[in-house]
């Protein structure tokens, strides 16, 4: 219960944090518009070119966006992530203004199609930038998970509120009115992104070549087991989601005989299930071990689809689609948070771009495969095969998910000690977690020298218990207590130790290796500035704690 209460407090901090709140309100506008537009664009394409135009346009949007996503991910690690989100909103606002004008004037539908593809491609830059920016805006691991959950809950609300808004506008007007609304909502999003403080791009020692930068996200995912498993299973889930876009129509019209209204109700049930799933995710997030919850979400995607193959009435189908909606938000929140915790900040945008690319490609593949499954296996067989895909895939990967949870336990004591040090005050929480996990417990009995003046610096130290004395060149001494730290000058200045530190009473320390310390500090501009301030404040006073 205490962990659950902590999770609820994290939710309260999300709404109290003006930076995170602005990001969420920006997402609200763009999500509502995107889902309203998702209803209007197929209607426009159907009236312009029939069902074939709808299918080709969907595939073109997803496939081209998947190809562009890795390139856009490079921008998320080169530019200000806030600026990239703002630019994406403003460009899409202009695109939808042009779409509104073209559709209203009765211009060639190919102009609208081209603009729709451009909008989908540009949208691929927004999500990676947002996901990479968010860890720098929160203050605790629970708050990061809560912020991801709030964002995905907003998306879930958009899943049923957006189509409802689009449907009302279509009943009263034309698709061009929905295009205009979407442009206005992207302007709304831009207004809230402007409220987020400016961020600095990730630091890099030298200007790298484009191809290695482009491939960095892919190589990071491939070389990191946790990323490989999470990204792979999320891609598989999106294949099922793409197939479901086709199979829902088959389920509503052919198996349930519920008509067009039934198709709408099934979509609404998924949206409602996603909102209800926020409470499930809150309970799982309270455990902080998220890989098991991720696996549960993957499992809950498949089982309801298998059961739906046996249905002939609408009511139980609505319940099963609600369960799938819950599974969807569970997978979304846990996968994003696991990636934020497992990938380095310098490549985080590109890792999310890889995920975005594979998700879009997965949806396109699923939508293409589903009609073939229906022709080959029949409607019920296609539902059964699609539903079984994820559980069967999960079985051999379950041990890998268990290892992710086993390795993801947060080192609470060093984390709390590091969090209170001024150097790390602005360090993104996932980076701080990794630094704490890398810290090694060290003991020193009374009288033992921990570091000696003139020796090479290999560690940064923070005191957990006990007291130490710092012996300076001028013969003065300074006492250190729990929570104090030393060793940063030798690491940051690349010089020998500038003072000797001796245990006055038994010491319990946490030691962070040189490479881990420098990677965390120099890879984040505000943290590097804070560290330099600490060094400069100590140098003039002669308290050189090297």
Q: Which of 116-120, 166-170, 375-379, 424-428 has the lowest mean pLDDT?
A: 166-170
pLDDT, position 23? 85
DSSP for residue 106: T
Residues 14-43, mean pLDDT to the nearest whole number: 79
CB contact at 8 A, 210 and 202? no
DSSP of 422-458: GGGTTS-HHHHHHHHHH-EEEEE-TT-EEE-TTSPP-
Q: 502-541: buried (b, 16+ CB within 10 Å) or exposed (e) per residue?
A: bbeeebebbbbebebbbbbbebbeebbebbeebbeebeee
- Give 4's pLDDT tier (boundaries 50, 70, 90): very low
CB contact at 8 A, 351 and 343? yes
- Phi–psi pair at 236, nearest 5 degrees: -60, -40
User: Looking at per-residue confidence, does 445 or 430 come out higher?
Assistant: 445
Residues 501-530, mean pLDDT to the nearest whole number: 81
Q: Residue 542: helix, strand or coil by DSSP?
A: coil
Stated length of the chain: 546
In the chain, what are the domains? 1-10+17-142+159-200 (1.20.1250.20), 218-409 (1.20.1250.20), 412-538 (2.60.120.10)
Euclidean distance between CA atoms 393 and 298, whole angstroms:
9
pLDDT for 205 beyond 60: no
Which of 36, 270, 29, 27 shows the shortest CA–CA distance to 149? 27
Instruction: Report pTM.
Output: 0.61
Residues 274-283, mean pLDDT to the nearest whole number: 67
Euclidean distance between CA atoms 31 and 18, whole angstroms:
20
Euclidean distance between CA atoms 420 and 26, whole angstroms:
31
* Sheet arrangement for strand 449-451: 449-451, 500-503, 468-471, 477-480
Residues 92-121, mean pLDDT to the nearest whole number: 91
pLDDT for 543 beyond 50: no
Q: Which of 141-150, 220-229, 428-437 has the lowest mean pLDDT?
A: 141-150
Euclidean distance between CA atoms 331 and 271, whole angstroms:
14
Residues 422-449, mean pLDDT to the nearest whole number: 81
pLDDT for 544 beyond 50: no
- Give 390's pLDDT tier (boundaries 50, 70, 90): very high
Q: Which of 57-66, 69-78, 450-459 has the lowest mean pLDDT?
A: 69-78
Q: Which of 229-233, 253-257, 480-484 has the lowest mean pLDDT?
A: 253-257
Residues 126-144, mean pLDDT to the nearest whole number: 74
Residues 474-492, mean pLDDT to the nearest whole number: 83
């Amino acid at each position: 219960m205490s962990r659950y209460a902590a999770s609820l407090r994290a939710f309260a901090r999300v709404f109290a944090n003006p930076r995170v709140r602005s990001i969420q309100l920006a997402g609200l506008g763009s999500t509502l518009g995107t889902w309203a537009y998702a209803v209007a664009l197929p209607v426009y394409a159907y009236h312009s070119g029939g069902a074939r135009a709808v299918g080709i346009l969907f595939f073109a949007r997803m496939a081209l966006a998947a190809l562009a996503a890795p390139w856009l991910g490079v921008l998320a690690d080169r530019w200000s992530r806030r600026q990239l989100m703002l630019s994406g909103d403003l460009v899409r606002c202009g695109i939808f203004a042009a779409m509104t004008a073209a559709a209203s004037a009765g211009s060639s539908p190919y102009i609208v199609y081209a603009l729709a593809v451009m909008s989908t491609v540009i949208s691929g830059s927004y999500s990676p930038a947002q996901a990479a920016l968010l860890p720098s805006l929160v203050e605790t691991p629970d708050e990061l998970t809560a912020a991801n959950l709030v964002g995905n809950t907003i998306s879930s609300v958009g899943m049923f509120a957006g189509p409802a808004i689009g449907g009302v506008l279509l009943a009263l007007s034309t698709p061009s009115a929905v295009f205009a609304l979407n442009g206005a909502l992207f302007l709304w999003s831009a207004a809230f992104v402007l409220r987020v403080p400016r961020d600095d791009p990730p630091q890099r020692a030298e200007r790298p070549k484009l191809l290695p930068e482009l491939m960095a996200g892919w190589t990071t995912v491939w070389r990191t087991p946790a990323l490989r498993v999470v990204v792979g299973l999320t891609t598989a889930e999106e294949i099922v989601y793409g197939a479901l876009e086709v199979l829902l129509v088959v389920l509503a019209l052919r198996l349930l005989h519920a008509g067009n209204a039934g198709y709408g109700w099934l979509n609404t049930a998924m949206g409602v299930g996603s909102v209800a799933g926020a409470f499930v995710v809150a309970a799982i997030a309270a455990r902080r071990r998220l890989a098991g919850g991720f696996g549960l979400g993957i499992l809950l995607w498949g089982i309801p689809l298998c059961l739906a193959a046996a249905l002939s009435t609408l009511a139980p189908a609505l319940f099963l689609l609600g369960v799938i909606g819950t599974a969807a938000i569970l997978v979304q929140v846990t996968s994003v948070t696991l990636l934020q915790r497992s990938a380095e900040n310098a490549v985080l945008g590109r890792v999310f771009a890889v995920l975005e690319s594979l998700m879009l490609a997965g949806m396109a593949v699923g939508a293409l495969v589903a009609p073939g499954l229906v022709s080959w296996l029949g409607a019920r067989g296609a539902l059964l095969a699609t539903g079984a895909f994820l559980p069967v895939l999960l079985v051999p990967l379950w041990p890998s998910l268990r290892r992710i949870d086993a390795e993801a336990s947060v080192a609470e004591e060093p984390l709390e000690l590091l969090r209170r040090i001024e150097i790390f005050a602005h360090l993104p929480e996932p980076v701080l977690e990794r630094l704490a996990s890398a810290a090694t417990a060290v003991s020193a009995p009374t009288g033992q020298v921990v570091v000696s003046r003139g020796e090479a610096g290999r560690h940064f130290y923070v005191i957990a218990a006990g007291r130490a004395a710092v012996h300076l060149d001028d013969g003065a001494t300074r006492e250190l207590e729990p929570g104090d730290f030393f060793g940063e000058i030798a690491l940051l200045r690349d010089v020998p130790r500038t003072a000797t530190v001796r245990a006055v009473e038994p010491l319990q320390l946490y030691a962070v290796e040189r490479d881990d310390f420098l990677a965390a500090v120099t890879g984040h501009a505000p943290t590097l500035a804070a560290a330099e301030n600490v060094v400069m404040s100590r140098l003039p006073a002669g308290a050189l704690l090297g």
